[in-house]
Amino acid sequence: MLLLAKMKSSLWILFFLLTAISGCTSKNQEPYTPKIIEPDTHIQEFTFAIHPLHNPTYLFDVFNPLIEYLNQQIPNVRFKLEASRDYATFDQKLIKQTVDFALPNPYQTLIAIDHNYQVIAKMADDFNFKGIILVRKDSNIKVPSDLKGKSVSYPAPTALAATMLPQDFLQRNGLDINKDIQNKYVGSQESAIMNVFLGTTAAGATWPPPWNALADKRPELKQQLKVIWKTHTLPNNSVVARQGLPDNLTKQVQNALLNLHKNSEGQAILQKMYLSKYEAANNATYEPVKAFITQFNLHVRPL
C-alpha cells in the first residue's frame, strides 16, 4: 500500500511539471503556422508548336532538347513543346493563333503570315528541302508512268516537301495524280516510308531528314528501298512568332536559334534534326513558296 501511494504521488508530480512546462511554452512561443510558398509569378509560359514532321514520340525526342535549351538561355520564361496529332490540327492552331511560337513547313508558313505571325528564322540546308520518292529495289518501277493504277503513300495533303513537291513532280512527268494513281495520306513520314517497305503501296514520298533518320535506326530500309526520284528544292521550314509578343522575347528566341550551332550543346541538338544550323529569314523569304503554291493549285490539285 505504501508503495502504491508513492507511485501515485510521483505521477501527480510528473503531471504537474509537464503542465507547467506546457504553459510556459504556450506563453513564450507563437503557435506554429505552416508557411505557404507562393508560385513564382515572374515565370511566364509560352508555347512552341512543331508541325507533325515526325510521329509524336520521335518529334518529342528530337525537339524537346531545343525547348529545354531555350529555357536555359532565356530567364524568367518557360517554353513548352506542343505537338499536334495531324497537319490539319496544327494548321488550326496557326489560324486561331493559339500558340506563341511555331515551326511550320513553308506552306504552313504562308498560313501563319496571313494570321498574325512573323518569320524570325528558318532551318538552313535548303538543298535538303526537297521531296524524294521511294520504291522497293525489287519492284519493276522505272519511270513515273509505271505507277499508273498503283498507290503512293504520303504523310499528309499539306506536307510540302513530302507530298506537294512529289505530286508536282509526278504531274510534270506524265501522270495525272488525281486519276492515274491512288494517293494514300498515312499520317507521318515514317508511315509513308514503311508502307513502301511492307509492300502496302508501290511508292512512298518523304524528304531526306526523316528518311535518313529512320534508315539509320533500321538499316534494312536502305537494303530494300531506293530513292528513285528527287524533286526541286524550296526554302526550308521557318520559325514564326505571334505578333504582339514582347519584342525582347522574340529577339532572344531568334538570337538563341541563330547561335545554336556555335556551341557543342547546340550542335548536338542540331545533329538530331539532321540540320547544320538555323539562319536569318523574314516573311519575304517565302515568296518562292507562294509562287509554287499558286501553280500547284492550278495544275496539280486545289489545297
Which residue among 233, 248, 277 closes a domain?
A: 233
Whether residues 161 and 118 fall in one domain: no
Whether residues 212 and 251 fall in one domain: no
Burial tier of 68 (Cβ tally within 10 Å: 0-12, 13-18, 19+): middle
5 belongs to a structural domain: no
pLDDT, residue 41, reads 55
Amino acid at position 30, single letter:
E
Q: Is 183 in contact with 152 (CB distance < 8 Å)? A: yes
Q: Which grid cell sits at 111?
A: 498560313
For the entire predicted model, the pTM comes to 0.84
Whether residues 265 and 225 fall in one domain: no
Distances (CA, A) of 241 to 112, 156, 174: 9, 24, 40
181 belongs to a structural domain: yes
Whether residues 218 and 139 fall in one domain: yes
pLDDT, residue 40, reads 52
pLDDT, residue 102, reads 98
Q: Which grid cell sits at 49?
A: 508548336
Whether residues 110 and 256 fall in one domain: yes
The count of structural domains within the chain is 2
- CATH, residue 120: 3.40.190.10
Whether residues 256 and 119 fall in one domain: yes
Whether residues 229 and 240 fall in one domain: no
Please state, as a whole number, how many other Cβ atoms lie within 10 Å of the Cβ of residue 123.
24
Whether residues 158 and 243 fall in one domain: no
Amino acid at position 120, single letter:
I
- Residue 281 CA to residue 40 CA, distance in Å, equals 35
Q: What is the pLDDT of residues 143-174, one digit of tens each?
A: 999 999 999 999 999 999 999 999 999 999 99
Domain residues for 180? 130-233
Which residue among 176, 207, 233 closes a domain?
A: 233
Whether residues 80 and 55 fall in one domain: yes
- Residue 303 CA to residue 168 CA, distance in Å, equals 13
138 belongs to a structural domain: yes
Whether residues 209 and 122 fall in one domain: no
30 belongs to a structural domain: no
56 belongs to a structural domain: yes
9 belongs to a structural domain: no
Spell out the residues 6+ positions from residue 256 whose beta carbon is closer than 8 angstroms to its own: 69, 70, 73, 74
- Residue 261 CA to residue 276 CA, distance in Å, equals 7
Which residue among 214, 233, 252 closes a domain?
A: 233
Whether residues 239 and 262 fall in one domain: yes
3-state secondary structure the chain: CHHHHHHHHHHHHHHHHHHHHHHHHHHHCCCCCCCCCCCCCCCEEEEEEECCCCCHHHHHHHHHHHHHHHHHHCCCEEEEEECCCCHHHHHHHHHCCCCCEEECCHHHHHHHHCCCEEEEEEECCHHHCEEEEEEECCCCCCCHHHHCCCEEEECCCCCHHHHHHHHHHHHHCCCCCCCCCEEEECCCHHHHHHHHHCCCCCEEEECHHHHHHHHHHCCHHHHHEEEEEEEEECCCCEEEEECCCCHHHHHHHHHHHHCHHHCHHHHHHHHHCCCCCEECCCHHHHHHHHHHHHHHHHHCCCC
Q: What is the pLDDT of residues 19-59, one digit of tens each?
A: 444 444 444 444 444 444 445 557 899 999 999 988 888 89
Q: Is 296 in contact with 164 (CB distance < 8 Å)? A: yes
pLDDT, residue 33, reads 47
Whether residues 179 and 218 fall in one domain: yes
Angle 264-272/56-73 helices, nearest 10 degrees? 160
Q: Which residues of the chain have pLDDT under 50?
A: 1-38
pLDDT, residue 43, reads 86
2 belongs to a structural domain: no
39 belongs to a structural domain: no
